[in-house]
A and B are shown apart, each in its own frame.
Chain A
Amino acid sequence: EAGVAQSPRYKIIEKRQSVAFWCNPISGHATLYWYQQILGQGPKLLIQFQNNGVVDDSQLPKDRFSAERLKGVDSTLKIQPAKLEDSAVYLCASSSRPRLSQFFGPGTRLTVL
């Protein structure tokens, strides 16, 4: 079974630029999560989707971050414009149903200069 796929693996941009990350969850997993993990900290949930609907986006900085999962499969997370403090690893995870085990992708390491 293929795991959670993410791309790109690394991205370096300058502040005020835009960036997008892509995630393809495990086939059949209805629940998809985006996390932000700042160096030295644990992951923090940004947004949770159930199929193509948003379940929880209370910790998403909506003035600059957006995410979509239009067909209930893969998802895109966008930052526009980026700030220095957005430098982090962005992790995507999926589970077959809420409250079941989450499987994480390898993450995208973003550096904002």
Chain B
Amino acid sequence: TQLLEQSPQFLSIQEGENLTVYCNSSSVFSSLQWYRQEPGEGPVLLVTVVTGGEVKKLKRLTFQFGDARKDSSLHITAAQPGDTGLYLCAGGRGETSGSRLTFGEGTQLTVNP
């Protein structure tokens, strides 16, 4: 079983602060996705990274895929209350195995005004 460990599990910060969430595994993934899930809703895809060392920016969010494709991080600059939610990373397996995603346990982020 390919496990993805996310840290921290819970994070409560003030508006305007910066934060980083980590996603680590002992296994190599062909791709890694980050989702945000709000209460009562399904996860919404934020980004997909596929190349080791890849960095993608989405407004105030910066995503990085580790060189060995075993880990990833999500950095949020100047967090806002609207960023509150459950952040999930999900690793994808190779082409021949289809597209099964293995999800981490999630990081629950609360941004206080």
| Residues of B in contact with A, size category | 20 to 34
Q: Which residue of A lies closest to B93 (CB)?
A: A99
Main secondary structure of the interface of A (DSSP, over half): loop
Question: Is the C-beta of B40 less than 8 angstroms from some C-beta in chain A?
Answer: yes
- Which of A4, A31, A106 contacts B40, CB < 8 Å? A106
- Give bound CA distance, A100 to B48, whole Å: 9
Question: Is the C-beta of B109 less than 8 angstroms from some C-beta in chain A?
Answer: no
25 interchain pairs (CB within 8 A)?
A: A40-B106, A41-B106, A42-B4, A42-B103, A42-B104, A43-B43, A43-B88, A43-B103, A44-B103, A45-B100, A45-B101, A48-B98, A48-B99, A48-B100, A91-B42, A98-B99, A101-B33, A101-B45, A101-B48, A103-B45, A104-B42, A105-B42, A107-B40, A107-B41, A107-B42
Chain A to chain B: the 9 pairs with minimum beta-carbon distance, closest first: A104-B42, A42-B103, A98-B99, A99-B99, A43-B103, A104-B43, A98-B98, A91-B42, A101-B45
